[in-house]
Every structure is written in C-alpha cells, then in structure tokens.
Amino acid sequence: MLDPKEEDLEKLAETCLATAKKIKDYLASNKQPQPTFDQTGPSTFPPATPEIQQVRLELRTAAKRLYDLASGPEDVVTWHLYQSCHDLNAMRYVFRYNIHTAVPVDGTITYPELASNLSLDASQLKQMLRQLMPIHVFTEPSPGQIGHTASSRLLATHPGIASYTGFMVEGTLPYVAGQIETFEKWGHGRPEPNRTAVSHYYGTDLGMFEYFETHAPAVRERFAKLMTHMSSNPLMDNSHVARGFDWTTLPEGSVVVDVAGGMGHCSIPIAESTHESVRLVVQDLPKIIDKAGAPATCVIPEALRARFDFMPYDFYTQQPVRGAAVYFLRMIMHSYSDAYALKILRNIIPAMSPRSRILIMDQVMPPAVNLLPEPLERIKRSQDLQMMLLCNAKERDEAEWAQLFADAGEGVGEAKGRKLGILAIRTPPGSMMSLIEVGFVEDVGGKGTENGDGQGVEPNGVNVKVNGE
C-alpha cells in the first residue's frame, strides 16, 4: 500500500513500475486487451479481481502524485487550472454542436468538411478540438484528419456517457460559473433547494428538480439518462443494494418501502434477496408512479411483479405505510440540506414500529482529508460540491449523519421511549456508497431495540398495483 505521505520521486516511480507490471501481467494471463488510447481498444478497464482493482488504484495514486510533484507548486495552481478551464470549454463546444456524433465512428474527416457539415468556422473548430487531443479526446492520425480515440468514440456511441459528459459541460460548468454570485445574491449557507446556482442560472424561484420537470424537458431527459448511467457504474451499481444489508433476516410477510424509488430499479435486488412473501412498496410522485406501474413501461421482472405495489407519495407528507420492516432511501438524502432532510425523516418516524429500520444508501464521507487514495477522494469531494451546487445539499460524514438522526428523533424518542440512532454502517466491496441502518435505540447505551415484529401492514388502503388493476 502506498504511503499517503510518500513524496520521494524515485519511490513513486518504482511504485508506478511495479503496479503497472502487475496489471499488464494480469491482463495478459487472462487474455484481456491492454489499455490503449486507440478507438479500437477497450472502452472500459476490463473486469478484474478486487486485488487488481486495488493495484490499479495504487498506480493512479502514485502516477498523479508523481505528476504533481514533477510539475511543481506553481504549475499546480496556474497551468493545471488554466488547462482545465479550456478543456471544459472545448468540450462544451463539442456538445453544443454535436461534434462527437459528426466525426465518423470509423474513418476520418477533415476540418473543412466537418465545419461545413455543422455550419461552423473551420479555424475555430480546429482550435477547440486540438485543445482536447492532448487529453486523448479525438485525434489526428494524419495532419488535418480528425478521428476518434477510445474516449471520444464513447461520447459518440454510448448515450449514458454522452449524457453524463453533456450535463457536466452544458449544465454543471455554467452553474459553477455563477455559484459565487448565488452566495452574494441570497446569502451564504442557505438551506433552501430553490436558492441554488441552478435557480440563479435559470432566473427561477423553483428548485432544480421542479424546474427541469416543468420548464426544461431536454435538460431533464439528459439528467435522467445521466442517473441511469450512474446506476450502472460499478461504484454505484444497484447490485450493491443486496450486498450491504442482510435482507434474508426480514420476517416472512414483511413490507419494504422504497421511498422516492422512481421506477423501482433498486427494489428488484431487494425482492430477489428476500422471502417470496415480502412485499415491496415503491413510492414516488404521481407522474413517476403512473409510468412505473404501467405494464408497458414497468421495469420489474414478470416473476416478481405480484410482490410489488406502486404508491403515489410526497415525502414532505406523513408516511402512509405504517410498521414496515424497512423504509429504504437510496441517493435521496444527499440531495437535501439538513433542514429538509429532517422534514423527510420526521415524516417517516411516526409510521415506524419499534423494530422498523430506516435504511439509507448514500455516501459516508471521510471525516478529514488524505484518508483515502487521491483518485477516490477527488471523486467524493467533487460529488459533495455537486450536491451543494445543484441542491444546497451535501454528502455527510458519519458524525454528520449521526447528528441528523439524533435531531430527527427529538420529540419522538420520548413518545416511544427511544431515540433514533445509527445501528450499523456497511460499505459493500467496490461500492462508493454505504448502507446506513437506522433504528430506535435505548436512551442510554445506544443499544438497539429488540421488541416488535417488524412486519408491515396494509398501506392504508392505497394499493396501486403494477398491472394497473
């Protein structure tokens, strides 16, 4: 394992060499292709064992640290930032004019031909694309001939990745440009979801989700594709839902409520991991539920559909399903500041039985810096800032989660004789997110409760079946 404080150039280079050799040998012995920038190469790093994935992370960490040290302090805060600004702007140009789809997937095209096809200026086009070529996005296999690299080909052929990158450069980039002005306009530390950089950019009093839904259908569609792509990323794959909690312990006849569960994708691994008598209630806003429950658009496998109910529900109102075994919230709480996250939790708590659990699947941030390899920390810190940018929200560390649950349980523990607290935090191997198990604990000692059956009851007569009956 690389010493997090290692700064010796030779030792870092030795780490790079040793880890690169392990990866190369592993790929060769498993008849996997070696990494290449060429568009004919693999679009992602080939499947590998957890050990090799760790070696790969160590290589990236050592190489990045070596690059920064060799660059020197001045370059880190000047040229590196300067280049990043223009990389992002050039990529925005690419997406604004759909250049990635206009470059032939196989073969090449000249600058004048491409510019003519897109009604662009050939000189500006050349300037923009040549900014991206040193970072291996597009290439000139011969002077003046534009072709794809492995990365730019992905933008042309993979809708999920294109939506992700497109949202970053056409959404995040202009939002970021106005974030400081947002603070100055509405004040620092605002918790409201409609006082964000997104609201400022569009000149609206609506929050991001509401604005996208009512005023920006194209942006909403891109964002939806982005989220679908993210759910298939190995770090955030839905399969981690089943590995981060022992669903087999739920009693027969239990109810699991997937709060703001969208189409119900994440409830599928839960259903597959529980007894056939366990019921799943997927809750979301009516428009989403109508689509989720309609036979033509339902994503639930036919063999599981009889166990699913779809219920319209706004989590700013009291939870109607009482006594469920688990109230599951995946990637929900990080979209809300503490003030609004408390409202969501306090609408669930009165519905809980003594043994009910709230199960939150979100990130648990490290409590300080330099506790993770730099590539992982960079992702986590950027995601934290993204939530502030979009929603005035944040990713929370364990202490912040614990405080949130303690605050949510105030006034409830007295009524039930207990307080709300963290019972366990589990991070499945290979997952960016953790599963935070929350329940009622004794006032003294933090011991979990043991009484109560944890089984669900009928959801107050509201029962929107998957088959529309």
Range 175-191 average pLDDT: 96
CA dist 391 and 179 (Å) reads 12
Phi, psi (deg, nearest 5) at residue 308: -105, 140
Give me the torsion for CA of 173, 174, 175, 181, rounded to 10°: 120
Q: Are residues 228 and 345 in the same domain?
A: no
pTM of the complete model: 0.89
CA dist 240 and 270 (Å) reads 10
Q: Are residues 225 and 180 in the same domain?
A: yes
Higher local confidence (pLDDT), 401 or 5:
401
Query: How many domains are there within the chain?
Result: 4
| Amino acid 417: pLDDT | 56
**For residue 217, what pLDDT band results from cuts at 50, 70 and 90?**
very high
Percent of all residues in the chain with a pLDDT value above 70, rounded to a whole number: 92
C-alpha R_g of the chain: 25
Q: Are residues 225 and 314 in the same domain?
A: no
Q: Are residues 268 and 349 in the same domain?
A: yes
| Amino acid 461: pLDDT | 30
Residue 383 is assigned to a structural domain of this protein:
no
Place of tokens 């960016």: 432
Handedness of CA 394, 398, 400, 404 (dihedral sign): positive
| Amino acid 412: pLDDT | 56
| Amino acid 444: pLDDT | 41
Residue 384 is assigned to a structural domain of this protein:
no
| Amino acid 443: pLDDT | 56
Structure confidence by residue, pLDDT tens digits, 276-293: 999 999 999 999 999 999
Distance, C-alpha 395 to centroid of its chain:
11
Q: Are residues 225 and 305 in the same domain?
A: no
Q: Are residues 266 and 351 in the same domain?
A: yes
Residue 381 is assigned to a structural domain of this protein:
no
Average pLDDT, the chain: 91
Q: Are residues 187 and 277 in the same domain?
A: no
Residue 284 is assigned to a structural domain of this protein:
yes
Tell me how far apart the terminal alpha carbons of the chain are, to the nearest angstrom. 57
| Amino acid 459: pLDDT | 33
| Amino acid 372: pLDDT | 92
Residue 288 is assigned to a structural domain of this protein:
yes
Those residues with Cβ within 8 angstroms of residue 278's Cβ, 6 or more apart along the chain or in another chain: 250, 252, 253, 254, 255, 256, 271, 307, 325
Sheet holding 139-142, edge to edge: 109-110, 145-147, 139-142
Range 126-155 average pLDDT: 98
**For residue 47, what pLDDT band results from cuts at 50, 70 and 90?**
confident
Assign residue 98 the CATH number of its domain.
Answer: 1.10.10.10
Range 82-110 average pLDDT: 98
**For residue 468, what pLDDT band results from cuts at 50, 70 and 90?**
very low
436, two tokens: 């935070």
Residue 451 is assigned to a structural domain of this protein:
yes
Structure confidence by residue, pLDDT tens digits, 252-281: 999 999 999 999 999 999 999 999 999 999
Q: Which of 37-46, 371-380, 390-399 has the highest mean pLDDT?
A: 390-399
- Is it the case that residue 126 has pLDDT exceeding 70? yes
Residue 174 is assigned to a structural domain of this protein:
yes
Single out the residue in 197, 232, 267 at which a domain terminates: 232
Structure confidence by residue, pLDDT tens digits, 312-334: 999 999 999 999 999 999 999 99
Q: Are residues 403 and 416 in the same domain?
A: yes
Instruction: State the CB neighbour count (10 A cutoff) for residue 24.
Output: 12
| Amino acid 452: pLDDT | 35
Higher local confidence (pLDDT), 304 or 452:
304
- Is it the case that residue 448 has pLDDT exceeding 80? no
Residue 402 is assigned to a structural domain of this protein:
yes
**For residue 132, what pLDDT band results from cuts at 50, 70 and 90?**
very high
Sheet holding 279-284, edge to edge: 419-426, 434-441, 357-362, 326-330, 255-258, 279-284, 308-312, 464-465
Single out the residue in 177, 210, 232 at which a domain terminates: 232
Assign residue 321 the CATH number of its domain.
Answer: 3.40.50.150
Q: Are residues 268 and 179 in the same domain?
A: no
Q: Are 225 and 171 contacting, i.e. CB atoms less than 8 angstroms apart?
A: no
385-166-432 Cα angle (round to 5): 45
Q: Are residues 169 and 270 in the same domain?
A: no
Counted residue by residue, the chain has a size of 469
Higher local confidence (pLDDT), 83 or 234:
83
- Is it the case that residue 464 has pLDDT exceeding 50? no
How, if at all, do strands 434-441 and 419-426 pair? Answer: antiparallel
Domain residues for the domain of 442 are 240-367+395-465
205 half-sphere exposure, CB direction, 13 A CA radius: 0
Q: Are residues 421 and 272 in the same domain?
A: yes
**For residue 204, what pLDDT band results from cuts at 50, 70 and 90?**
very high
**For residue 411, what pLDDT band results from cuts at 50, 70 and 90?**
low
CA dist 139 and 129 (Å) reads 8
**SS (HEC) of the chain:** CCCCCCCCHHHHHHHHHHHHHHHHHHHHHCCCCCCCCECCCCCCCCCCCHHHHHHHHHHHHHHHHHHHHHHCHHHHHCHHHHHHHHHHHHHHHHHHCCHHHHCCCCCCEEHHHHHHHHCCCHHHHHHHHHHHHHHCCCEEEECCEEECEHHHHHHHHCHHHHHHHHHHHHHHHHHHHCHHHHHHHHCCCCCCCCCCHHHHHHCCCCCHHHHHHHHCHHHHHHHHHHHHHHHHCCCCCCCHHHHCCCHHHCCCCCEEEECCCCCCCCHHHHHHHCCCCCEEEEEECHHHHHHHHCCCCCCCCHHHHHHEEEEECCCCCCCCCCCCCEEEEECCHHHCCHHHHHHHHHHHHHHCCCCCEEEEEECEECCCCCCCCHHHHHHHHHHHHHHHHHHCCCCEEHHHHHHHHHHHCCCCHHHHCCEEEEEEEECCCCCCCEEEEEEEECCCCCCECCCCCCCCCCCCCCCEECCCC
Single out the residue in 157, 183, 202 at which a domain terminates: 157
CA dist 345 and 162 (Å) reads 35
Q: Are residues 347 and 459 in the same domain?
A: yes
CA dist 331 and 394 (Å) reads 11
Least confident window among 18-27, 283-292, 387-396, 450-459: 450-459
Handedness of CA 190, 196, 200, 202 (dihedral sign): negative
